Amino acid sequence: MISIIGLSRRGRHGAPARPGTDQDAGSAAVELTLLAPLIILMLLLIVYAGRAVNARGQVDTAAHTAARAASLARTPTLAIAAAQAAVAPDLTGNTGPCTALTVEVDTSQFRPGGVVRATVACRLDQSDLAAGLPVPGGRTVTAAAAVPIDLYRGVTATAAAWPPAGTDSSSREQV
């Protein structure tokens, strides 16, 4: 056997190894056995984080959708109903990530030029991934959005605030 720059195969105690013998036989199986649980744990944590990020994006979008739907309504009561109806199908049921959903609509400034605010809270259940892991099985994801009400559109709930003082309220038209 020729040694190239001192890289010859050696056996036990530095003696030259016999051809056909391999001292590392079976070490790959042992390494895989030791590393497999860590790899599975890492994959579960990646899926856990991915679900949380996806739910956060869906709740952000739902809050904006709820605020937009509420801003298009004519009365505060219809605004609240429109916001809840716009959000519920996307976040609950078989396709949505939420086990519990809360939609709160602030219509205190519901007038032309005012603002409608919607807050959506989603209870996210990840207990199927968190079994045995040191991560919470459930968490609440919350998002809020505000949408202005068009200055030139009519709403029926604030006759006292619109039209401005000094104008004749009988000439007001609904758009």
Angle at 15 between CA 9 and CA 19, to 5 degrees: 50
Please answer whether residues 99 and 140 qualify as being in contact, where contact means their C-beta atoms are separated by less than 8 angstroms: no
Is residue 1 over pLDDT 70?
no
> What count of residues does the chain have?
175
At residue 153, what are phi and psi to the nearest 5 degrees? -105, 155
The mean pLDDT value of the chain amounts to 77
Of residues 22 and 139, more confidence is placed in 139
Q: What is the pLDDT of residues 3-30, one digit of tens each?
A: 555 555 555 566 665 665 566 666 778 8
Side chain identity, residue 89: P
C-alpha distances (whole Å) from 45 to each of 41, 51, 131, 134 are 6, 10, 12, 10
- Is pLDDT above 50 for 158? no
110 Cβ contact partners less than 8 Å away, ≥ 6 residues apart: 75, 76, 79, 116, 149, 155, 157, 158
Inter-residue contact 65 to 86 (CB < 8 Å): yes
Share of the chain above pLDDT 90, in %: 29
Maximum CA pair distance of the chain? 110
Q: What is the pLDDT of residues 58-111, one digit of tens each?
A: 899 999 999 999 999 988 999 999 999 998 877 776 667 888 889 999 999 998
pTM of the model: 0.66
3-state DSSP: the chain helix, strand, coil percent, rounded to 5?
40, 20, 40
Confidence band, pLDDT 50/70/90 cuts, at residue 171:
very low
Question: Residue 24: exposed, middle, or buried by beta-carbon count in 10 A (0-12, 13-18, 19+)?
Answer: exposed
What is the spatial distance between Cα 129 and Cα 41, in angstroms, rounded to a whole number?
Answer: 10
Assess whether pLDDT exceeds 50 at residue 164: no
